[in-house]
């Protein structure tokens, strides 16, 4: 895995991205290859659209590399980097935003302030105990 990541970082330093560089990162059907392609595309894309297009236009596991590249780009740039026309079309957006907000609260303020041990409105309805 480390070799694949090293290859991706080396490719980043080789100038503007090309389809040949994506293909040269290895077999994008293996976990190592998928990670290398996704990382490379996230780092070299001129913007979110470009990075995702690079990640899905190859002969490997393009859906997987696209999903992982999208996750990396989202972590790097946040929701505001998404093209507005893509956001408008996102199925289940309110649910995704609610989950993201709840996760952020959980990670920054902890369950003692709003989690299942309190009477926070809706918490137990959204996340019932098993």
Q: How far apart are CA 14 and CA 74, in angstroms?
A: 24
| Angle separating helix axes 48-56 and 31-44, nearest 10 degrees | 150
Residues 53-77 have pLDDT tens digits of 999 998 888 999 999 999 999 999 9
pTM for the structure as a whole: 0.73
Closest CA to 63 of 20, 95, 28, 91: 28
Q: Which residue positions in the chain have pLDDT lower than 70? A: 1, 110-124, 130
Q: Is 64 annotated as a binding residue?
A: yes
Do residues 8 and 36 make contact, with C-beta atoms less than 8 angstroms apart? yes
């Amino acid at each position: 895995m480390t070799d694949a990541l090293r290859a991706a970082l080396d490719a980043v330093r080789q100038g503007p991205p090309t389809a040949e560089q994506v293909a040269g990162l290895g077999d994008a059907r293996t976990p190592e290859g998928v990670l290398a392609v996704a990382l490379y595309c996230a780092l070299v894309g001129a913007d979110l659209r470009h990075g995702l297009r690079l990640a899905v236009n190859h002969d490997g596991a393009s859906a997987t590399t696209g999903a992982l590249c999208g996750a990396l780009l989202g972590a790097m740039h946040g929701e505001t980097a998404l093209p507005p026309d893509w956001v408008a079309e996102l199925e289940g957006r309110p649910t995704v935003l609610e989950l993201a907000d709840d996760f952020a609260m959980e990670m920054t303020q902890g369950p003692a302030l709003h989690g299942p041990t309190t009477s926070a409105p809706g918490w137990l309805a959204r996340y019932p105990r098993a």
